[in-house]
Amino acid sequence: MGMFRSRSDSPQAGTTEPDGSAWPLLVGTPAREHSSPTIDTISSSSSDRRERVLLLLIIAVWYFVGVGAIVTTKILLTDWHVPPLLLTVQQLTCASTILRLVLTMNDCLVPSPFAEKSLSTIWQEYADFWLAGMFNSLDFLSSNTGFSHAAASYVETIKSTDPLFTTAVALAWKIDHVTSLEAVALTFLMGGIVLSTWGNPTLETLPTQSQLVCGSLIVTIANLCFAFRCMFQKRYRASSVALQIDDANLLCRFQQMGAAVLSVPALIGYAPFIWRLLWTTSHIDCLYYIRLSLINSICYVSYNWASTYCLSKLSVLQYSSLGCLRRLFAIAATCIFFGVPMTWIGALGLLTSVLGFLAFTYLRNERRYCAPAEPSPLKQLSSIV
């Protein structure tokens, strides 16, 4: 009961973070020191533990299917030479279709939150929704473009700098704040990323300095899109109109919106490629492409749903730091899968980033622990891992 409820539809009281996320207060907490456990408190404790386990499982799904999405995306871009824009539209279309079917079969699909509203009302009340969806699509388009230019481990190394951009956006729009010690921890995290980049042997495979700059710029744009997507999604979740839609339906609408907007330039610009793929490819190759695309879409929708769920449960900076650790995991996994060696400088950078992440998480949890609210899910997870 309530295991999958988002922040907005929980009946429990809660405290609101600067970014709009809320951490539920357990019913009967003040009386625990002076009374024996009751059925309500025992039930509440059991429910909390289930939520911690659920969050831990979803984080694990986020990590592992993310690697699957990266590997299959890289294969489609390099072996099949699918243009990044066309691949992004394919991913958004297939993922939204799969998610819509799952929601429909479970009778969980909700109508569009702005189904019977005027255009002016839609823009006024749902501007954050539209902007979050567009930045989500542009983030994946930029990432796919980066994967088409450089090795997956190098792209993930540059994308690991997203805590810097997310922190800057969160502070600029005042949806989160950091203490001086948290800033030091983030600096260590970023320093580890710099070391990993310098120690990345794939830099030597880039033929020109201009290609290196171009690839880094594209991935930096992806990081900016990711930061703005986090901010606008948090702002939307903090609004009253967000009560109408849960995380899975929200992600489905994001993907449908991105597919609708990007499909027009993709179909116009790459019509010859689509024609050649449909009529000149053998049946065996077509079946292989369909199978690979299906695996990619399943990994893609699972990764995005887990990402959206975690962003709803965590603060922006916690989510970003956890995402950075996920990218470090992806770097190591893709290096192994694609046979890219890791230098000792790169390994030192990864270790420094992990230590910076752990320090930031500890400091953030200590700050929240001293507050009257309950500790965050990340702190609660420490009791089971």
Rounded to the nearest integer, the mean pLDDT of the chain is 79
In a domain, 24, yes or no: no
In a domain, 200, yes or no: yes
- Spell out the residues 6+ positions from residue 184 whose beta carbon is closer than 8 angstroms to its own: 359
Can you tell me whether residue 154 is helix, strand or coil? helix
Q: Which pLDDT score, from 0 to 100, does residue 380 have?
A: 46
Q: Which pLDDT score, from 0 to 100, does residue 22 have?
A: 41
d(CA 162, CA 350): 15
Residue 377 has pLDDT above 90, yes or no: no
The partner residues of 14 in beta bridges, in order of sequence, read: 24
Q: Look at 110 and 260; give whichever has higher pLDDT.
A: 260
Tens digits of residue pLDDT in 208-257:
667 667 878 898 999 999 999 999 998 888 887 777 788 899 999 999 99
Residue 3 has pLDDT above 60, yes or no: no
Q: Which pLDDT score, from 0 to 100, does residue 15 have?
A: 40
Q: Which pLDDT score, from 0 to 100, does residue 372 have?
A: 55
d(CA 114, CA 96): 18
In a domain, 19, yes or no: no
Domain tally for the chain? 1
In a domain, 30, yes or no: no
In a domain, 385, yes or no: no
- 110: containing domain: 46-379
Question: Phi/psi of residue 65, each to 5°?
Answer: -70, -20
Q: Which pLDDT score, from 0 to 100, does residue 43 have?
A: 59
Q: Which pLDDT score, from 0 to 100, does residue 192 have?
A: 83
Is the Cβ–Cβ distance between 306 and 62 less than 8 Å?
A: yes
Q: Look at 90 and 5; give whichever has higher pLDDT.
A: 90
Is the Cβ–Cβ distance between 71 and 152 less than 8 Å?
A: yes
Q: Look at 77 and 207; give whichever has higher pLDDT.
A: 77
Lowest-pLDDT range of 29-38, 74-83, 179-188, 330-339: 29-38
Q: Look at 170 and 194; give whichever has higher pLDDT.
A: 170
Q: Which pLDDT score, from 0 to 100, does residue 39 have?
A: 54
- Spell out the residues 6+ positions from residue 2 whose beta carbon is closer than 8 angstroms to its own: 10, 11, 47
Q: Which pLDDT score, from 0 to 100, does residue 339 have?
A: 76
d(CA 51, CA 381): 10
In a domain, 7, yes or no: no
Tens digits of residue pLDDT in 77-120:
999 999 999 999 999 999 999 999 999 999 998 887 766 666 66
Tens digits of residue pLDDT in 21-33:
443 333 333 444 4
In a domain, 35, yes or no: no
Q: Which pLDDT score, from 0 to 100, does residue 19 have?
A: 47
Band (37; pLDDT cuts 50, 70, 90) = low
Is the Cβ–Cβ distance between 336 and 329 less than 8 Å?
A: no
In a domain, 18, yes or no: no
Q: Which pLDDT score, from 0 to 100, does residue 223 have?
A: 92
